[in-house]
């Protein structure tokens, strides 16, 4: 299943324009608040030079890249947790994604309406995050109330869950999002079915405007100082929309002229993979070459489960080929002749860029 990233933020900060640049989704991107009323969805292949190298050497009948699904969700305003604006719909859509891409406007413009008058990235981030915490607080408090009743009737199986939700309520009430809280893996697992919004990993995209493509101005600088460098990607959404209409060679030339490391798609995908701890593995079966996403540290049976649940249930073993070995030797047969194929069992942790052949009942 494709990685799903929810594009969120205040109204009119460039979310739909970004979606169009990332996926050519054709979402309306007019200059007024709540231009997006329903969520817009775009799916795009993950750029993968290694997959293209494998394709050239192996010449499969079909090559399938892994994908990323971007969901542009209606703009959030103060009071959304109580249903203001398009709040309830907005919050419901966020619960369905794997990670949040929070778009923050980091440029001033008399021509583009701002929901709160003038852009202030630190304040604007806190408006959105406060609404997410308030929504989570309401959800967690309701769950805690039900769990307290179960514990009161003598249901000992509910005690640990009750304690986890009680801790979550205290954390949220103190103004801390759950992703930044001191929760154990067991507590996070007990909270997971509630799909709490602030428990989701969050990446901030500073929309820097056309005159500051590298994000060196005072507004993106203020956002970095408030949120930390690691979780922020600076992108001029306006420039990205222009780039998306160029040919690949023209895009590369344009990016080089601006001194940018890559386009928005590469920057966002790389940052999302890093944020979620994802790796890529490949399979070759029935003349079909395919790329897959997998959490770092996952085992070979879990990789099999990404392909089909029956393969995980019936997992026997996997044969592992190193990408560079396969690219150098050119075929599975050549690797076999040189003893470069490893057979691994259920405990093997799949490595980034492994090429797997899975055997199952």
The pLDDT tens digits for 226-239 are: 999 889 999 998 88
Q: Is residue 108 within 8 Å of 119, Cβ to Cβ? A: yes
How does DSSP assign 61-116, residue by residue? SEEE--EEEEEE-PPP-TTGGGT-TTHHHHHHHHTT-SEEEEEEE-S--TTS--TT
Distance, CA of 358 to CA of 90 (rounded, Å) = 40
Task: Give the least confident one: 14-18, 51-55, 142-146.
Answer: 14-18
Average pLDDT over residues 60-71: 92
Sheet holding 99-105, edge to edge: 40-45, 67-72, 3-8, 99-105, 202-207, 232-235
- Output the six-digit token pair for 334: 């050549």
pLDDT exceeds 50 at position 81: no
Mean pLDDT over residues 205-218, rounded?
A: 90
The residues, any chain, with a CB within 8 Å of residue 34's CB and separated by 6 or more, are 11, 74, 75, 85, 86
**Confidence class for position 24, pLDDT limits 50, 70, 90:** low
* pTM score, whole prediction: 0.84
Checking if the pLDDT of 144 tops 80, the result is yes
237-264 residue pLDDT tens = 888 888 878 888 888 888 888 887 778 8
Q: What is the DSSP letter of 31?
A: S
Q: Which residues contact 286 (CB under 8 A, 6 or more apart)?
A: none
Question: For residues 317 and 244, is the Cβ–Cβ distance under 8 A?
Answer: no
Contacting residues for 115 by C-beta, under 8 A, at least 6 apart: 10, 11, 12, 13, 33, 75, 77
Predicted pLDDT at 112: 67
pLDDT, residue 89, reads 55
Share the mean pLDDT of the chain: 87
Q: What DSSP state is assigned to residue 344?
A: E
Q: What is the dihedral of CA 332, 338, 339, 341, to 10 degrees?
A: -20
Strands 354-360 and 202-207: unpaired
Map out the domains of the chain as residue ranges. Answer: 3-44+67-119+200-275, 130-199, 278-360
In the predicted structure, residue 172 carries a pLDDT above the cut 90: yes
Least trusted range by pLDDT, from 69-78, 201-210, 236-245: 69-78
Q: What is the DSSP letter of 46?
A: P
Residue 14: pLDDT band (50, 70, 90) is: confident
Q: What is the pLDDT of residue 252?
A: 84
Asked if 36 contacts 28 with a C-beta cutoff of 8 angstroms, the reply is: yes
| CA of residue 170 relative to chain centroid, distance | 27
Six-digit token string for 99 = 């990670």
The better pLDDT of the pair 256, 351 is held by 351
Q: Which residue has the tokens 């990235």?
A: 121
Residue 36 confidence (pLDDT) above 90 = no
pLDDT at 111 over 90: no
Is the predicted pLDDT of residue 37 greater than 50, yes or no? no
Angstrom distance (rounded) from CA 210 to CA 5: 25
pLDDT tens digit sequence for 182-200: 999 999 999 999 999 999 9
> Which pLDDT band, with edges at 50, 70 and 90, does 95 fall under?
confident
> At the fourth CATH level, which superfamily is domain 130-199?
Obg-related GTPase Ych/YyaF, coiled-coil domain (1.10.150.300)
**Mean per-residue pLDDT, 1-14:** 84
DSSP assignment of 310-332: HHHHTEEEEEEEEHHHHHHH-SH
Q: How far apart are the first and last CA of the chain?
A: 23
Task: Tell me the fold of 278-360.
Answer: Ubiquitin-like (UB roll) (3.10.20)
Rounded CA separation 93/90 (Å): 5
pLDDT, tens digit, for every residue of 258-287?
887 778 888 889 999 999 999 999 999 889
- CATH number of this structure's domain 3-44+67-119+200-275: 3.40.50.300
At residue 25 the predicted structure's pLDDT band, cuts being 50, 70 and 90, is very low
pLDDT at 80 > cutoff 50: no
The 8 Å CB, 24+ separation contacts for 302-311 are: 302/350, 303/350, 303/356, 303/358, 304/358, 304/360, 307/283, 307/358, 310/360, 311/358, 311/360
């Amino acid at each position: 299943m494709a990685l799903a990233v929810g594009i969120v933020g205040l109204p009119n900060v460039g979310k739909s324009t970004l979606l169009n640049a990332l996926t050519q989704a054709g979402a309306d991107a007019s200059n007024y608040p709540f231009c997006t009323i329903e969520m817009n969805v775009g799916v795009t292949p993950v750029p993968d030079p290694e997959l293209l190298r494998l394709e050239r050497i192996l010449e499969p009948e079909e090559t399938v890249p892994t994908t990323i699904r971007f969901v542009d969700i209606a703009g959030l305003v103060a009071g959304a947790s109580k249903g203001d604006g398009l709040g309830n719909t907005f919050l419901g859509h966020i619960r369905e994604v794997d990670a949040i891409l929070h778009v923050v406007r980091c440029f001033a413009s008399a021509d583009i309406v701002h929901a709160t008058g003038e852009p202030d990235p630190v304040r604007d981030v806190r408006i959105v995050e406060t609404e997410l915490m308030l929504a989570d607080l309401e959800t967690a408090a309701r769950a805690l109330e039900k769990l307290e009743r179960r514990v009161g009737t003598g249901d000992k199986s509910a005690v640990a869950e009750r304690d986890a939700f009680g801790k979550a309520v205290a954390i949220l009430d103190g103004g801390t999002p759950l992703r930044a809280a001191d929760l154990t893996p067991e507590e996070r697992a007990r909270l997971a079915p509630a799909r709490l919004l602030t428990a989701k990993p969050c990446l901030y995209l500073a929309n820097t405007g056309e005159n500051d493509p590298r994000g060196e101005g005072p507004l993106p600088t203020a956002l970095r100082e408030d949120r930390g460098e690691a979780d922020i990607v600076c992108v001029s959404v306006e420039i990205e929309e222009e780039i998306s209409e160029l040919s690949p060679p023209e895009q590369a030339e344009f990016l080089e002229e601006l001194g940018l490391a890559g386009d928005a798609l590469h920057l966002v995908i790389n940052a999302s993979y890093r944020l979620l701890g994802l790796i890529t593995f490949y399979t070759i079966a029935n003349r079909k070459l395919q790329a897959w996403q997998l959490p770092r540290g996952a085992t070979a049976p879990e990789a099999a489960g990404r392909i089909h649940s029956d393969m995980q249930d019936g997992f026997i073993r996997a044969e592992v080929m190193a990408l560079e070995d396969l690219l150098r030797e050119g075929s599975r047969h050549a690797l076999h002749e040189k003893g470069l194929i490893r057979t691994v069992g259920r405990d093997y942790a799949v490595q980034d860029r492994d090429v797997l052949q899975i055997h199952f009942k």
